[in-house]
Chain A
Amino acid sequence: MKKFVIKRLLISVVLLFFVSMIIYGIMRCMPASFVETKAMELSQKPGAKSYDEWLEQLNAAYGLDSGIIQGYVTWASKAVRGQFGDSWNYNQPVLQKFSSVIWYSFALALASFILEIIIAIPAGVAAARKQYSLTDYSITVIALIGISLPSFFFATILKWIFAIKLNWLDLYGIVGRMHQQLSPAGQILDMAKHMIMPVATLTIVNIGSLMRYTRTNMLEVLNSDYIRTARAKGLPERKVINHHAFRNILIPIITLLGGTLPSLFGGALITETLFQIPGIGYTSYQCIVLGDIPFVMFYMLFSAVLILAGNLLADILYAVVDPRVRVN
């Protein structure tokens, strides 16, 4: 087990090296990047230096005067030591900006994660218990609609209903206009209120896959011999489902959920952007559009780490939860 984890970690490091190289290469391809925009802006001020002079100076200041490979080596050698530099857009260290925004994303993701589990697992079990019944069909259709729903469309519908027609919630942002005047408890409630629509969007869009996963696994379990035995010995259906079947579907579900745990930190790029929640996703979106290389590099690498960690965690959990599986 230890050997397996160490091997996987080593492979992950190699993968991260290539991933960061590819992303750095792509980022440097942006021709009119952040620096050029800024140089243009500065050169138009009265009495300023010419555009070319500014460009040269800024390129040197931001370390863009070297070639892509050399630039990458510089970046990587610092990144290895945990120095991700300053965000150009925010003019503060990347890690500082990251730690100030990550908790919004985490709260958003955690709330919708818990909601998903509460809703999806019972629904999936219910659908499998009565396969091809009306319940099953409606749950399947709802799950598929959730998967197929464009998040931006659903978010727009929510905004239209709750923010415009009913005027209960705000269209954008994480805090209301009167946030500063509120008591500490009121401030938290204010933020929670602004999280309602993003959480709802994220939950509906993501709930389908867990629902269907639960249903498929439950069907498989319900078809197995030990369930037939349990029924044959006259156990009540409630006990068969809740004790014998449900415990067995926990294995794949815990594996799946464990794998998604790291992604709770990854931020929901689209949903956060739609509601302008200042989490890691929205922050990164702005940096991507502006060409802020240090922040985007950090975010992409962070996401890649989360994906790798999720895979690794899922594999380990698989072995831990189900003793029949031996990692090798």
Chain B
Amino acid sequence: MANEENTKVENMKLDDMQRVKVLSPSALVLKRFFRNKLAIIGMVIIICMFLFSFIGGMVIPYGQSQVFYTTEEMKKDYAGATYISDYMMYEAEGAEVPSDLYSKSILAITKNQKVVETRGGGNLALRPLTGDSFIIYGAEETKNPRALKSKEHDQAVASGDNYFEYDDVAYIADDASGKELLYIASEMAVICKLSLTPYTAGTTLSYDFYKNALLAMSGKEKTFEADGLNYTVEMDGEETAMVFAADGSDYAYISNMNINSVIGGVFLAPDFKEAAALAIQDGAESFEYTDADGVTDTYLLSENNGQYLISRFQETRVIDTYAQPSEEHWLGTDANGMDLLARLMYGGRISLLIGFVVVIIEVIIGMIVGGVAGYFGGWVDNILMRLVDVIYCIPSMPLYLILGSIMDHYRASATVRIYMLCVIMSIIGWVGIARIVRGQILSLREQEFMVAAEAMGISVGRRIFKHLIPNVVPQLIVFASMGLGEVILAEATLSYLGLGIKYPAASWGSIINAVNDSYVMTNYLFVWVPAGILILLTVLAFNFIGDGLRDAFDPKMKR
């Protein structure tokens, strides 16, 4: 094959036409273009950008507005504890209680009276137990000297009590008025500053249990019977006690502290309360507690005006903001916890799309207006060119800013903003192309081929768009490739100022917007540097290509 060609060349004559390889004009342009190193670099960069944004966006497993979370050790309030300062009242089942039972009892306790009259006319009698616990009885005055003189009465008085039973009747003795009075007592309630927590969640403690537990706490007898079951009380401190069931298992915890979970509806185990109360009594700053699942945690205690706060370090799910680059997020995450690489890819799509859409619209409008103006000349030209002048006069950047803030006020969605940006930028940008096209056509239409075209009777539209415009295409292509860079730059600037593409849609410019926070600028280089480099590379590549194309179309600049 190679031999054959060689012999062919040898057989040619010196002036053989085939010796000179004839290339078509466009092939020549291409050849010159591909010899330009910078232009090739530009092409490679642009192809890479397309692959990065379009293929990369498909390959990457993350979305552009997917928020990532991380777990972090955070000190969180767990429970609050206070010494109980108010009296709690537990009423007996089935007892008829007067409506002012609680207030009258409190009154009696503060006035240190043992018997008070209720509003309903009856009497209340208080039987003090240890500390601030009392049993409240409904009292009916009676005269029974035998009971007063009985052994049971003397025993009770001797032990400091005012309650005794004689002949199966419960009596309360009171000597507040100087003379000892006797009342027949009927149980109504217990009142105390203690809280009782059963061990198993859901167990409700009966009145009987309350009363007998309190009695056992104050009495010497540490066992009691309630609801037919036997319990044992073991004092932990002065005011705290543990109640065991008959089989020795923990049954309830009695404490003078109110310990509640910060989150409503959470049951705090009595062990926990016990551990917390002990720590508070000891004045410790932290304590350890192993919960039912066997997990040991350290709880921290802090005190504020008698209020104790129990907190602990907990694993918390938080948005992963400004994560450093890692295997998971190659370029880290931004302020919203979104993957920066994914946002760069999607931002690239938008930037490139806006660039191409705007330039295509610009070229179409500019070609039509410039072509018509240049071809017809006269008043058509005059009017169209004055329109071009008007638009050319309007300062573009301030106008984009104004329109951007108008869209802000209308709260345009991210997609609408993208479309509007395309439209606005093309409406402003087409005038440059119209001027180029018109200038070229003004000189071209005087040439012979146009006379020929007219002589052949070709219609005006065909003459403009088939014979004139193709001669302008080289300049158009150069202008368009440079214009692409400019449009991308303008879009990035607008987005940087926060008036272009907005969250949640991504754009290279809006990613760099994060540097308005100088903390981000200083410490999170990975947020803004890649985006800036991508903009620079893309615009540079379009300029390289445009430059290469200009040289290729117009080789006379070469020495």
Asked if residues B410 and A31 are in contact (CB atoms below 8 Å), the reply is: yes
The answer to the question of B512 belonging to the interface, with a C-beta cut-off of 8 Å to chain A, is yes
Taken residue by residue from 48 to 61, chain B's Cβ proximity to chain A (1 for < 8 Å, 0 otherwise) reads as 00000000000000
Known: A15-B393, A31-B410, A303-B395. A148 touches B403 (CB 8 A): no
- The residue from A140, A159, A291 contacting B405, defined by CB atoms under 8 A apart: A291
Taken residue by residue from 396 to 423, chain B's Cβ proximity to chain A (1 for < 8 Å, 0 otherwise) reads as 0111011101100110000000000000
Chain A nearest CB from B499 CB (Å) reads 8
Asked if residues B557 and A153 are in contact (CB atoms below 8 Å), the reply is: no
B-chain residues with CB within 8 Å of residue A159 when the two chains form the complex: 521
Interface centre among A22, A23, A288, A291 (most CB of B within 10 A): A288
A-chain residues with CB within 8 Å of residue B37 when the two chains form the complex: 137
Chain B residue nearest to A165 in the complex (CB):
B522
The answer to the question of A16 belonging to the interface, with a C-beta cut-off of 8 Å to chain B, is yes
Known: A148-B540, A150-B532, A156-B512. A270 touches B397 (CB 8 A): yes
Residues 370 to 415 of chain B near chain A (Cβ within 8 Å): 386, 389-390, 392-395, 397-399, 401-403, 405-406, 409-410
Known: A140-B547, A148-B543, A291-B405. A223 touches B532 (CB 8 A): no
Chain A nearest CB from B178 CB (Å) reads 64
Of A49-57, A66-74, A214-222, the one contacting chain B is A214-222
Chain A nearest CB from B321 CB (Å) reads 20
Known: A150-B489, A300-B398. A220 touches B547 (CB 8 A): no
Asked if residues A307 and B392 are in contact (CB atoms below 8 Å), the reply is: yes
Q: How far is the CA of A284 from the CA of B399 in the complex (A)?
A: 11
The answer to the question of B536 belonging to the interface, with a C-beta cut-off of 8 Å to chain A, is yes
Asked if residues B536 and A145 are in contact (CB atoms below 8 Å), the reply is: yes
Chain A residue nearest to B42 in the complex (CB):
A144
B-chain residues with CB within 8 Å of residue A19 when the two chains form the complex: 390, 393-394
- The residue from A140, A156, A164, A300 contacting B394, defined by CB atoms under 8 A apart: A300
Asked if residues A151 and B493 are in contact (CB atoms below 8 Å), the reply is: yes
The answer to the question of B251 belonging to the interface, with a C-beta cut-off of 8 Å to chain A, is no
Taken residue by residue from 1 to 44, chain A's Cβ proximity to chain B (1 for < 8 Å, 0 otherwise) reads as 00000000001001110110011001101111100000000000
The answer to the question of B485 belonging to the interface, with a C-beta cut-off of 8 Å to chain A, is yes
Asked if residues B518 and A171 are in contact (CB atoms below 8 Å), the reply is: yes
The answer to the question of B433 belonging to the interface, with a C-beta cut-off of 8 Å to chain A, is no
The answer to the question of B335 belonging to the interface, with a C-beta cut-off of 8 Å to chain A, is no
Taken residue by residue from 143 to 181, chain B's Cβ proximity to chain A (1 for < 8 Å, 0 otherwise) reads as 000000000000000000000000000000000000000
- The residue from B393, B405, B544 contacting A289, defined by CB atoms under 8 A apart: B405
Count of residues in A whose CB is under 8 Å from the partner chain: 55
B-chain residues with CB within 8 Å of residue A23 when the two chains form the complex: 394, 399, 402
Asked if residues A223 and B409 are in contact (CB atoms below 8 Å), the reply is: no
Asked if residues B38 and A164 are in contact (CB atoms below 8 Å), the reply is: no
B-chain residues with CB within 8 Å of residue A275 when the two chains form the complex: none
The answer to the question of A226 belonging to the interface, with a C-beta cut-off of 8 Å to chain B, is no
A-chain residues with CB within 8 Å of residue B392 when the two chains form the complex: 307
Chain A nearest CB from B379 CB (Å) reads 15
Chain A residue nearest to B409 in the complex (CB):
A32
B-chain residues with CB within 8 Å of residue A32 when the two chains form the complex: 409
Asked if residues A144 and B543 are in contact (CB atoms below 8 Å), the reply is: yes
The answer to the question of A273 belonging to the interface, with a C-beta cut-off of 8 Å to chain B, is yes
The answer to the question of B92 belonging to the interface, with a C-beta cut-off of 8 Å to chain A, is no
Chain B nearest CB from A172 CB (Å) reads 9
Q: How far is the CA of A284 from the CA of B405 in the complex (A)?
A: 13
The answer to the question of B528 belonging to the interface, with a C-beta cut-off of 8 Å to chain A, is yes
The answer to the question of B497 belonging to the interface, with a C-beta cut-off of 8 Å to chain A, is yes
Taken residue by residue from 148 to 185, chain A's Cβ proximity to chain B (1 for < 8 Å, 0 otherwise) reads as 11111100110110001000000100000000000000
Known: A144-B540, A150-B535, A152-B512. A304 touches B394 (CB 8 A): yes
Known: A150-B536, A219-B559. A288 touches B398 (CB 8 A): yes
The answer to the question of A131 belonging to the interface, with a C-beta cut-off of 8 Å to chain B, is yes
Asked if residues A22 and B398 are in contact (CB atoms below 8 Å), the reply is: no
The answer to the question of B477 belonging to the interface, with a C-beta cut-off of 8 Å to chain A, is no
The answer to the question of B496 belonging to the interface, with a C-beta cut-off of 8 Å to chain A, is yes
- The residue from B401, B409, B492, B525 contacting A150, defined by CB atoms under 8 A apart: B492
The answer to the question of B476 belonging to the interface, with a C-beta cut-off of 8 Å to chain A, is no
The answer to the question of A141 belonging to the interface, with a C-beta cut-off of 8 Å to chain B, is yes
Chain B nearest CB from A30 CB (Å) reads 5
The answer to the question of B319 belonging to the interface, with a C-beta cut-off of 8 Å to chain A, is no
Q: How far is the CA of A220 from the CA of B554 in the complex (A)?
A: 12
Q: How far is the CA of A288 from the CA of B499 in the complex (A)?
A: 11
Asked if residues A16 and B497 are in contact (CB atoms below 8 Å), the reply is: no
- The residue from B402, B485, B497, B536 contacting A27, defined by CB atoms under 8 A apart: B402
A-chain residues with CB within 8 Å of residue B518 when the two chains form the complex: 164, 171
Interface centre among A145, A148, A273 (most CB of B within 10 A): A148
Q: How far is the CA of A141 from the CA of B37 in the complex (A)?
A: 11
B-chain residues with CB within 8 Å of residue A285 when the two chains form the complex: 401
Residues 515 to 552 of chain B near chain A (Cβ within 8 Å): 515, 518, 521-522, 525, 528, 532, 535-536, 539-540, 542-544, 547
Known: A22-B394, A303-B398. A131 touches B559 (CB 8 A): yes
Chain B nearest CB from A145 CB (Å) reads 6
Q: How far is the CA of A33 from the CA of B402 in the complex (A)?
A: 11
Known: A23-B402, A31-B409, A270-B497. 6 other contacts (CB 8 A): A30-B406, A144-B540, A148-B539, A150-B489, A150-B493, A223-B557
The 6 A-B pairs of least Cβ separation, nearest first, read A153-B532, A148-B539, A303-B395, A148-B540, A32-B409, A304-B393
**Could you list 28 examples of A-B contacts with CB < 8 Å?**
A11-B386, A11-B389, A16-B393, A19-B393, A19-B394, A22-B394, A30-B402, A31-B406, A131-B558, A137-B38, A140-B38, A140-B547, A144-B543, A144-B544, A147-B485, A148-B542, A150-B539, A152-B497, A152-B509, A153-B532, A156-B515, A171-B518, A220-B557, A222-B559, A296-B398, A300-B394, A300-B399, A304-B395
